[in-house]
Amino acid sequence: MRVFNFAAGPATLPTEVLEQARDELLDWHGAGMSVMEVSHRSKAFVGVARQAEQDLRELLGVPDTYRVLFLQGGATAQFAAVPMNLASRGAVADYINTGQWSKKAIAEARAYLDVQVIADEKHSNYSTVPARESLGFTPGAAYLHYTPNETIGGVEFPYAPDPGETPLVADMSSTILSRPVDVGRYALIYAGAQKNIGPSGLTLVIVRDDLLGTAREGTPSVLDYKAMADAGSMLNTPPTFGWYMAGLVFQWLKRQGGLAVMAERNRAKAQRLYQAIDGSSFYANPVDPGCRSWMNIPFTLARPELEASFLEEARAHGLANLEGHRSVGGMRASLYNAMPMAGVDALVAFMSEFERRHG
Ligand SMILES: *Cc1c(COP(=O)(O)O)cnc(C)c1O
């Protein structure tokens, strides 16, 4: 039996997509073999790859002046690839620190350039984002990097920073495709696939044309945006199964009605869970209400000694992977696109029943 899987990543995928993959697993499009067993250079696979890009471009409204890359190495490889491609040694880049993923991006970037942390939300224990008007940018910075949604802290920007001429770079790993986004505001967007796109092993990069071809000497070719763009992301063997699965998810999103429809659903799902948390004295969410994530909702129990029983009983109710990140503890429910409202309803009902027995 399939459970409601609230994991932060690898995360739940649409059942319809998994069923389609299952149905065509042994004999993919009449090939007599699975999609994992065909050449990435075959006409059939290249067709799948190009269709996936086309569907993604349509869903996100990616302008023609941007390249879409299907890479490997996760978002973590991009922590290094971004400075290697967009800045020369000794250049300055601005970073906003809103929590654990920002911190990792900053730590990695320090090896490649001079990182200026222009805002750090430590003062609120990373339960806030900086006010838009408080941001001061470094003149001439190579780029500004930020994390629109902090997957661990459950903190999300309600706005996109506007650094003027400075290229804006976003780690959208845990928010991409959850709602419409104005791609034209960004110089570069990257995202690991395993939250809202497909299986792990695939990383999306959406990068503006004029930023290609400036990689510093010594950049590995698989991390060089221009080399990868020129090769259609097939400079070496791409993660073919992940690319295929991402394509099925993009088609599923189109069948749902696109990102405006997903935004409505995601907002409603998050609202339902926050209401349940705020309406109880047993559960609490530490994040400033102005920047609470739609995707990742951490919460604590008034009696932390009950966490283990909460998780065990939730699992028995078909509600899986509700434990918080190992670094923070507590609980966390991730409500990506593939989590239906029925899953949130089941969680809210369980929480209320658990509180009645233990509160
Ligand atoms: C999961 C996550 C990462 C790390 O992704 P990997 O693919 O494991 O490298 C980075 N940034 C954010 C915001 C994430 O949610």
Q: Is residue 8 part of a domain?
A: no
Mean pLDDT of 319-330: 90
Model pLDDT, residue 295: 98
The pLDDT of residue 326 is 81
User: CB within 6 Å of ligand 1 — which residues?
Assistant: 9, 74-76, 101, 147, 151, 171, 173-174, 192, 195
Q: Where are the alpha helices (H) located in 190-306, listed in sequence order?
A: 225-230, 240-256, 259-278
Last residue of a domain, one of 256, 283, 305: 256
Q: What is the pLDDT of residue 343?
A: 98
Residue 286 neighbours by CB distance under 10 Å: 17
Same domain, 162 and 286: no
For residue 35, the surrounding DSSP H or E stretch is none
Tokens of 50: 């190009």
pLDDT for residue 327: 81
Residue where one domain finishes, among candidates 222, 256, 290: 256
Q: What is the pTM of this model?
A: 0.98
Instruction: Let me know whether 203 and 147 are in one domain.
Output: yes
CA-to-CA distance for 78 and 292, rounded, in angstroms? 25
Residue with the smallest CA separation from ligand 1 atom 10 is 75
**Among 28, 101, 252, 294, the one annotated catalytic:** 101
Q: Which of 55, 94, 171, 224 is catalytic?
A: 171
Closest CA to 112 of 148, 69, 143: 143
Q: Is 3 a domain residue? A: no
104 labelled catalytic: no
CA distance 352 to 114: 49
CATH number for position 138: 3.40.640.10
Amino acid 270: pLDDT: 98
Distance of alpha carbon 217 from alpha carbon 262, whole angstroms: 42
Based on the domain organization, do 24 and 118 belong to the same domain? yes
- Atom 8 of ligand 1, nearest CA residue: 74
Model pLDDT, residue 34: 97
**pLDDT tens column, 87-133:** 998 899 999 999 999 999 999 999 999 999 999 999 999 999 999 99
Q: What is the pLDDT of residue 125?
A: 96
- CB of 199 closer than 8 Å to CB of 219: no
**Residue 4's pLDDT band (boundaries 50, 70, 90)?**
very high
Of 17, 85, 10, residue with least CA distance to 254:
17
Active site residue 269: no
Residue 328 has pLDDT above 90, yes or no: no
Average pLDDT, the chain: 97
Whether 117 and 41 share a structural domain: yes
Q: Clarify whether residues 137 and 283 are in a common domain.
A: no
Residue ranges making up the domain that contains 326: 258-358
pLDDT at residue 359 greater than cutoff 90: no
Are residue 319 and residue 346 in the same domain, yes or no?
yes
Residue 11 maps to a domain? no
Mean pLDDT for 233-259 is 98
Ligand 1 atom nearest 76 alpha carbon: 9
- The per-residue pLDDT for range 24-74, each reduced to its tens digit, is 999 999 999 999 999 999 999 999 999 999 999 999 999 999 999 999 999
Say whether 183 sits in a helix, a strand or coil. helix
Catalytic residue among 94, 103, 195, 226: 195
pLDDT of residue 9: 96
Nearest alpha-carbon partner for 171 in 252, 99, 90, 102: 102
> What is the number of domains present in the chain?
2
- The answer to whether 169 touches 183, Cβ cutoff 8 Å, is no
pLDDT > 70 in the chain, percent? 100
Asked about 195 being catalytic, the answer comes back as: yes
6 within domain boundaries: no
Q: Taking a C-beta distance cutoff of 8 angstroms, is the pair 224, 217 a contact?
A: no
Q: Do 247 and 319 fall into the same domain?
A: no
Using the CB atoms, write b or e for 110-137: b if 16+ within 10 Å: eebbbbeebbebeeeebbbbbeeeebeb
Lowest mean pLDDT among 12-26, 132-146, 325-339: 325-339
Domain assignment present for 131: yes
Q: State mean pLDDT over 148-156.
A: 98
* Tokens encoding 207: 């990068």
Whether residues 332 and 248 share a domain: the answer is no
At residue 165, the pLDDT reads 95
Q: Are 206 and 62 in contact (CB under 8 A)?
A: yes
Domain boundary among 256, 284, 308: 256
Q: How far is CA 127 from CA 159, 247, 268, 292, in A?
A: 16, 35, 22, 9
Find the Cα–Cα–Cα–Cα dihedral 316, 317, 321, 326, rounded to 10°.
-70
Cβ count near 260 (within 10 Å): 9
What's the CA-to-centroid distance between 53 and ligand 1, angstroms? 21
**CATH code, domain with 350:** 3.90.1150.10
Site to substitute for ligand 1 among 103, 151, 327, most atoms within 8 A of C-beta: 151
Q: What is the pLDDT of residues 289-303, one digit of tens each?
A: 999 999 999 999 999
CB atoms within 10 A of CB 317: 15
306 within a domain of the structure (yes/no) = yes
Beta strand spans in the chain (E): 4-5, 66-71, 92-97, 114-120, 144-146, 149-150, 155-156, 168-171, 188-192, 203-208, 283-284, 296-301, 319-320, 331-334
CA nearest to 8, candidates 93, 83, 127, 100: 100
**Count of residues in the chain:** 359
